[in-house]
Amino acid sequence: MTAVGFGAMPLSTSGRPDEAQGVKVIHSALDAGMTLIDTADVYCLDDNDIGHNERLVAKALAAWSGDRDSILVATKGGLTRPGGRWETDGRPAHIRAACERSLKALRVDTIDLYQFHAPDPAVPFADSVGAFAELRQEGKLRWVGLSNVSVNEIETAQGIVEVAAVQNRFSPFFHELPHDGVIKYCTDNKIGYLAYSPVGGGRLNKKLPGHPVVGPIAEAHSASTHAVVLAWAVARAPNVIVIPGARTVEHVLDSAGAAELELSPEELQAIEEGEFSTA
Ligand SMILES: NC(=O)c1ccc[n+]([C@@H]2O[C@H](COP(=O)([O-])OP(=O)(O)OC[C@H]3O[C@@H](n4cnc5c(N)ncnc54)[C@H](OP(=O)(O)O)[C@@H]3O)[C@@H](O)[C@H]2O)c1
């Protein structure tokens, strides 16, 4: 697995490009050597549009000239989009139905990595995870992942099913809070860690160019500030994979370049200690 994957969400949420551009962007990620695509049933506009991003990923993969088997597609279940809002639904019946829909949308018999999108406060966490364990036993999932979880939740899940990956928000804007210790726990337990919104997400990433700490480091490496931030995240631990999202080929190619970018310990420390306002 390459350390820089592709987060397909912005190709299906509000402000999304047309389908042809979406396919082009996904192909550029695959052609640049990215081996992981992250999607979700709820990467869409609202509940009437569920599966938009998964169908787009499936379409792009079907039309891609490379080796489909070399690509890991990670999707998720456990949320809904009523009226465009993001809500949790961790009931086992919902997860089972969502999984069936995702299998169809992705045009596969087995989902490579199926992630529980977020714990549902209204449903015991173990019940939700139990549904993932059952689906795996039935051969519908190759690997199970968790998203937006704490160390305690990962430990609980591990008593129910093998946890292959954890996906949490991680960037200089949002170090690990409120999930302190998760990266270390995953490294120690040989669990993959997918860093989502790694350049800060759709709004905050725009603050990176010209950042007083990241700007000069980028200049010194003749790289973009976005690539520097991705390289910083990847350097955190060997099991970290960043999944930046993008709607343009230019941004995808720039992010792919971060895999080759090596920052010095002093540069990593400077970013670690830098001020990254979320205002
Ligand atoms: N598990 C969860 O709860 C969760 C939540 C959020 C996201 N995610 C996953 O994480 C992925 C990434 O998160 P995200 O999309 O929220 O945030 P992000 O990757 O931090 O930021 C994406 C935005 O940054 C811009 N960008 C990315 N790389 C760039 C580059 N090299 N140069 C310039 N601009 C660049 C893109 O602009 P353009 O659009 O203009 O190209 C895009 O709008 C999502 O696609 C999704 O797969 C998961």
Domain ranges of the chain: 6-203+237-260
What pLDDT is stored for residue 272 in this prediction? 93
Q: How far is the CA of 199 from the centre of ligand 1 (A)?
A: 7
Percent share of the chain, pLDDT over 70: 99
- Residue 99: its H or E element: helix 92-106
Give the CA dihedral 185, 190, 191, 196, nearest 10 degrees.
70
Mean pLDDT confidence for 141-151: 97
pLDDT digits (tens, 9 = 90+) for 89-121: 999 999 999 999 999 999 999 999 999 999 999
Measured by CA distance, the residue closest to atom 37 of ligand 1 is 246
Residue 49 has pLDDT above 70, yes or no: yes
Q: Which residues, 6 or more positions from 151, have their beta carbon under 8 angstroms from its beta carbon?
A: 179, 181, 182, 185
Mean pLDDT confidence for 241-253: 98
Instruction: Say if ligand 1 is within 6 A of residue 197 CB.
Output: yes
Mean pLDDT confidence for 80-91: 98
Measured by CA distance, the residue closest to atom 11 of ligand 1 is 7
Residue 130 has pLDDT above 60, yes or no: yes
81-86: long-range contacts, CB 8 A cutoff, minimum separation 24? 81/42, 81/44, 81/45, 81/46, 81/47, 81/49, 81/50, 82/46, 82/47, 83/46, 83/47, 84/14, 84/45, 84/46, 86/42
The per-residue pLDDT of the chain, averaged, comes to 97
Q: What is the pTM of this model?
A: 0.98
Mean pLDDT confidence for 240-252: 98
What pLDDT is stored for residue 119 in this prediction? 98
Active site members: 43
Residue 84 has pLDDT above 70, yes or no: yes
Residue 260 has pLDDT above 60, yes or no: yes
What pLDDT is stored for residue 176 in this prediction? 66
What pLDDT is stored for residue 177 in this prediction? 57
What pLDDT is stored for residue 178 in this prediction? 52
Mean pLDDT confidence for 166-189: 88
Instruction: Say if ligand 1 is within 6 A of residue 201 CB.
Output: yes
Residue 62 has pLDDT above 90, yes or no: yes
Among 4, 9, 21, say which to mutate for ligand 1: greatest number of ligand atoms within 8 Å of CB.
Answer: 9
Measured by CA distance, the residue closest to atom 32 of ligand 1 is 251
Mean pLDDT confidence for 66-95: 98
Instruction: Say if ligand 1 is within 6 A of residue 187 CB.
Output: no
Q: How far is the CA of 205 from the centre of ligand 1 (A)?
A: 8
Q: What is the pLDDT confidence band of residue 175, given thresholds at 50, 70 and 90? A: confident
Q: How far is the CA of 244 from the centre of ligand 1 (A)?
A: 4
Least confident of 106-115, 137-146, 173-182: 173-182
The CATH code for residues 6-203+237-260 is 3.20.20.100
Instruction: Say if ligand 1 is within 6 A of residue 2 CB.
Output: no
Mean pLDDT confidence for 185-191: 97
Question: What is the rounded CA–CA span in Å between residue 165 and residue 153?
Answer: 13
Atom of ligand 1 lying closest to residue 244 CA: 19
Q: How far is the CA of 275 from the centre of ligand 1 (A)?
A: 20
What pLDDT is stored for residue 261 in this prediction? 97
Residue 64 has pLDDT above 90, yes or no: yes
Among 207, 251, 276, say which to mutate for ligand 1: greatest number of ligand atoms within 8 Å of CB.
Answer: 251
What pLDDT is stored for residue 180 in this prediction? 76
Question: What is the rounded CA–CA span in Å between residue 124 and residue 145?
Answer: 17
Q: Strand locations in the chain, DSSP E?
A: 6-7, 36-38, 72-77, 79-80, 87-88, 111-116, 141-147, 163-169, 192-196, 240-242
Crossing angle for the helix pair 225-234 and 265-273, to the nearest 10 degrees: 100
Mean pLDDT confidence for 175-196: 88
